[in-house]
Amino acid sequence: MPRNKRIYVGTHDGVCAVVSHDGGDSWELGPVTFLPHAAARLSASRVNPLLAYLAAYEAGVYRTADGGLSWQKLESYPTPYAHSVLAHPTEGDSVLVGSEPATVFRSRDGGDTWEELEGFQAVPEASEWGFHSPTRDSHVRDLRVAAGNANLLFAGIEVGGMVCSQDGGGSWRQLPGLDPDIHCINLAEGMPGRVYVATASTPYRSDDGGSRWEMINNGIDRRYTLHIASAPDGPNVVLVTVSENARRGNPKFYRSTDGGESWNMVEGLGQGESPTEMVVAFDWDPAEAGTVYAGTDGGDLFQSRDDGRTWEELPVRLGTVAVGALAAGTG
């Protein structure tokens, strides 16, 4: 029997779900909930198929409990900023949010109440974190928890580098050796210790949990790396989206089958002179091997069912897709 699929998509003026009831053969756009600010990150629960969270920059944190039909602003969230969000993969009511200045908050009741993880800003290097603009501060751009180890957390700071917790967020340490301008983190499933990171200068890989880093840019002719992620069933199959600079000029989309040792450009997707053609967000299907979804800056959605080799455009039209604001779910 075909299963339901769901892609949560955040744009610069709203959030919605794109749903398939026949296993991905056809898709329909659900209602759009308009937001006062652009979406930043989305995270779909792996415990509750209808639950997802949205970090919406200066608009706070939102939650859907009905698969994206409606979104509720979590008024209890304690700061004006929300740059990243992570629905805990095994604890259905737990969610983490990264804020500005770089701080992490946790809720154990689905976002009704929050606590600050005070050990995060206790990292000695925290005094060196900052941002490019004098009117803004460092922020937590991405959050990840290791599959199979709920106590192992990673956070990427823009601009400040990578920090890691091995006790569920109680204490943190800085991970040196890579560009401090972090955009995206991916923890490879099935290969403990494998971490991929997208930065403003190049993609990186670590095979020992972040103690040592290797630049993986052989074959990539753009330096600005926006998003990176490996296949859940194949840690060496990796996709990455890059451009010339932060303005996303001349974007390209690449695929690797050897853990980033070499890359091949994906034809027909995520490339061109216009920033609207750039793939700014993608996510692998959590329940169907080989399936991955991608969204472009111009509002187009694509699906691949062969590990990112070939792509088909989905029959829906959106506003400009916000960076990182796409998450695949089920149910």
- Domain ranges within the chain, ordered by starting residue: 5-330
- The pLDDT of 90-117, averaged and rounded, is 97
- d(CA 231, CA 237) in angstroms, rounded, equals 6
Tokens encoding 300: 């187009």
The neighbouring-strand residues paired with 225 are 242
Give the confidence band of 32 by pLDDT, cuts at 50, 70, 90: very high
In CATH terms, is domain 5-330 a member of 2.130.10.10?
yes
Q: Quick one: pLDDT at residue 162? A: 98
In the predicted model, is pLDDT for residue 1 greater than 80? Answer: no
Q: What is the mean pLDDT of residues 32-50?
A: 93
**Cβ neighbours of residue 191 under 8 Å, at least 6 residues apart?**
207, 235
Question: From CA 106, how far away is CA 152, in angstroms rounded?
Answer: 15
Summarised one tens digit per residue, pLDDT across range 252-296 is 999 999 999 999 999 989 988 888 899 999 999 999 999 999 999
Kindly report, residue by residue over 133-167, the tens digit of the pLDDT: 988 999 999 999 998 899 999 999 999 999 999 99
Residues 251, 275 contacting (CB under 8 angstroms) = yes
CA–CA dist 93, 47 (Å, integer): 9
Which amino acid, 208? D
| Share above pLDDT 70 across residues of the chain, in percent, rounded to a whole number | 99
DSSP string covering 20-86: ESSTTSS-EE-PPEE-SS---EEEE-SSSTT-EEEE-BTT-EEEESSTTS--EE-TT--SS-B-EEE
Mean pLDDT for 29-50 is 94
Angle in degrees, CA 311, 313, 317, rounded to 5: 150
How far CA 214 is from CA of 19, 31, 133, 301, 309, in Å, comes to 38, 43, 29, 32, 25
Q: Do 123 and 157 meet the contact criterion of CB atoms below 8 Å apart? A: no
